[in-house]
Amino acid sequence: MQIHRAERGLSLIEIVFVVSLFSVLFAVTLSSLKPGAAKVSTLGLATALGDEFRAARQLSISKGYPVAIGLPAGGDKVADSIYRLEGWNKPLVTWTISFAGDYPRLEFAAAGWDGGDFEDGAALPPLSKFGAFDLSSWIPNEQKTDAILCFTPDGGVLSNGLPSIDGKYTVIVAGDLAVSGGTATAGNEPCLISLAINGAISVSKGIPGGVTLPTAVAAADRSAIEKRDEQDDSCKVWLSEIRTKPEATEGDVDAFCSPGQHVTFEMYAYDPEGRELFAQWRQSGPGGKEGNFGFPRSRSGLLTSEVERMEFVQNPPSDIEWNGAPEPTAGCFRARWTWTVPQDSEENEIYTVEADVQDATGQAKIQNRMDPKKFRTSPEGRLLAEINDGTRWTLVRLNPDGSCRQLLTSPGIEELMPSVDAQGTKLAFLQGPIGNDNQRVVKVRSLSGGGEFAVTSAGRYTSVSLSPDGGWISYRLDDGSNQGQGTLYIKRLDPGAPVFSTSQVWEGTNVLDIEPGRTGWSPDNKYALWSDRNTIRVADLTSGGHVTNARTLYTQTNTSSSQPGLFLQTYAPTVFNPGSGERVLFTVSTANPVIVHIPFDPDNPTYGNAKNIPPCETLAHKIDLDGWGGDTGSGSFDDNYASVSKDGRKVVLPRIDRPSDNTRYAIIAKWNDGIQNFIAQPTEKNTIREPVRCVVWVP
């Protein structure tokens, strides 16, 4: 027998519970089918926008050019999309995004609110480097009516006159946002994005001060999304001529340089499409020699080539030589680099440096390619010359070929008769008012320009000379009332040191206001030499600062042809050693002077004549200024103030070309071991082609 259990239906409680559950599920389903404005978050959209602003700021800092976020919201329109505008001379729309799909019925605008103390635009940060940046000119015409928030490479932000309060730009995000005259007039659940002028970005819910917006009743008029700009496939680059510092004054090269010298290159370029440009510098030299590009430094040795991102210049110089290219209308790019001449470079070697310009893809086509720049290595050493600039005598530091000039004399005064110690650290000179020979002061300063002090008070001083170790100084005070009469002083440079003085006289009718008299020194600082009439005198220098045992070293015996009976004067003796023993180099005669040299033996007085007319007691070699071309003397030139380099192998001397309107310039002669004499080849004669009176070597 089967047993059947009793069956029962749902209880009342169970029925009520099931009906309630169905009601809840139905309500949730209906809620999900409501319009998006009721379910999306204005704070979420504001956060997403804040992230895009921050990304644009970081991109500007890393790229080195302005990057802007544009809101296509002209007039009283609002936006639901943004675009990125970036570049230098021709900014392009490189990226766009629409938020309409993810955030329906939410909009944003750069706007203020009623009751706020708003201004149009904001001042730049105090330390901004972009005060001269013209944002209105940078924005393309197609985007000028949009709201532009532009980040600069220093991290700051600019705008095209957007509302700001307390130094911050404001962007309002709301549902069904409405704007009128730059002020939000309605919107649901507003959020605020604040952009400080220094680039700081913050997002907050609501409007500061508890300000509320009227509830929107209808969707506002939205601006259309911006389209991306398209560029041509090929980058076409125009280049300027490469500028060099130093520059060549003459010849077939672009600049002269010395071993270890820094040379600066500067080049401008642009792409009509506004692409960012990069410059690559390359070099070549004789025998594989290579210099060093200055930055960055290579860890593995010399940096022999380098690529750099070119710097944008909003307002380039007006004197750029574009080599046939049309001038840019909205700025251009500049590359400026330094290169160090190889330390082992030798005289007259030629090096070349060239630049290639490309865009970021390396596919640019150069429209007017430049020839490489050529550099010729100057003779070794540096010179310090007294040069007349047309109004005064000045001290100028320069290369032996006349390049790389550096003026050392301040305006309003004149400086003359330079003398440098053997280490090239200390400079002695005469200084005074322009054109006043009676108010000169003997001074000493560091060759780099500091520590200047006076050795004498003002007077009619005509010469000054430092010993090789810089410890002794000698100067001459002229007697203005008696032509050719004067007193020579020699002393230690220390304050209070004893002073040695002696008469120094120039004879004859050809005596100048400033005769080429200058005290010389032995390389070991043991002897001082000076000229007086037709003799060269020598004295011992003691460690205690005394000048003792003054005596005649050399007597010039032959007389002047223009003034019979008057012995020829001697001037400016200097001791040098070319490697074969010490010799004394000096000038002979006031009329048609010549440069001669004899062996230096301070304890063996001698005499002779510069014309080598028998009997020739001491052979006084005239230096060869015509390169074995016959007469080895000075001819129609007056050669004075000979200065020998520290190694004794080169002599530089100023000269006056009497037949050619007394033209002044300087030449260099080199020591020849074969004939034991200085020789100036015709092609090497000219070095300083300016009015030079005195010139010395700087070690």
Q: Over 90: is that where the pLDDT of 173 sits?
A: yes
* Banded model confidence at residue 589, pLDDT cuts 50, 70, 90: confident
Q: Which residue type does 399 have?
A: N
Q: Are residues 328 and 426 in the same domain?
A: no
Which CATH number do you get for residue 645?
2.120.10.30
Q: Over 70: is that where the pLDDT of 332 sits?
A: yes
Q: How far apart are CA 484 and CA 495, in angstroms?
A: 29
314's tokens: 């909003």
* Banded model confidence at residue 29, pLDDT cuts 50, 70, 90: very low
Q: Are residues 448 and 593 in the same domain?
A: yes
Which CATH number do you get for residue 177?
3.55.40.10
Question: Tens of pLDDT along 486-500?
Answer: 999 999 999 889 999
Q: Are residues 269 and 185 in the same domain?
A: no
- Residue 12 within any structural domain of the chain: no
Q: Over 90: is that where the pLDDT of 312 sits?
A: no
Contact 153, 107 (CB under 8 A): no
Query: Three-class SS of residue 312?
Result: strand
Q: How many domains does the chain have?
A: 3
Residue 245: per-residue pLDDT: 73
Question: Tens of pLDDT along 498-551?
Answer: 999 999 988 765 666 666 688 999 999 999 999 998 899 999 999 889 999 999
Q: Are residues 295 and 396 in the same domain?
A: no
- Residue 6 within any structural domain of the chain: no
Q: Are residues 427 and 485 in the same domain?
A: yes
Q: Are residues 431 and 579 in the same domain?
A: yes
Q: How far apart are CA 133 and CA 640, in angstroms?
A: 58
Determine the length of the chain: 699
- Residue 225 within any structural domain of the chain: no
- Residue 31 within any structural domain of the chain: no
Q: Are residues 340 and 481 in the same domain?
A: no
Widest pairwise Cα distance in the chain? 175
Contact 95, 32 (CB under 8 A): no
Q: Are residues 392 and 491 in the same domain?
A: yes
- Residue 9 within any structural domain of the chain: no
Q: Are residues 84 and 138 in the same domain?
A: yes
* Banded model confidence at residue 450, pLDDT cuts 50, 70, 90: confident
- Residue 7 within any structural domain of the chain: no
Q: Over 60: is that where the pLDDT of 31 sits?
A: no
Question: Tens of pLDDT along 106-124?
Answer: 999 999 998 888 988 888 7
- Single residue among 377, 393, 422 that ends a domain in this structure: 377
Q: Are residues 177 and 307 in the same domain?
A: no
Given the DSSP bridges, would you call strands 373-377 and 255-257 parallel, antiparallel or unpaired? Answer: parallel
Element spanning 150, H or E: strand 147-151
Q: Are residues 365 and 388 in the same domain?
A: no
Q: Are residues 62 and 195 in the same domain?
A: yes
* Banded model confidence at residue 38, pLDDT cuts 50, 70, 90: very low
Q: How far apart are CA 331 and CA 598, in angstroms?
A: 65
For the ranges 94-108, 419-433, 650-664, 666-680, which has the lowest average pLDDT? 650-664
**What does the pLDDT average to over 678-683?**
70
Query: Three-class SS of residue 12?
Result: helix
Tell me the residue range of the domain where 599 lies: 382-698
- Residue 217 within any structural domain of the chain: no
Q: How far apart are CA 500 and CA 494, in angstroms?
A: 14
Mean pLDDT of the residues in the chain: 81
- Residue 222 within any structural domain of the chain: no
- Single residue among 193, 210, 227 that ends a domain in this structure: 210
Q: How far apart are CA 120 and CA 170, in angstroms?
A: 11
Quick one: the chain helix, strand, coil %, rounded to 5? Answer: 10, 40, 50
Q: Which residue has the higher pLDDT, 689 or 41?
A: 41
Which CATH number do you get for residue 354?
2.60.40.1930
- Single residue among 210, 227, 262 that ends a domain in this structure: 210
In sequence order, the 6+-apart residues with CB closer than 8 A to the CB of 518 are 417, 419, 463, 464, 465, 571, 572, 574, 641
Q: How much is the CA Rg of the chain, to the nearest whole Å? A: 42
Q: Over 90: is that where the pLDDT of 359 sits?
A: no
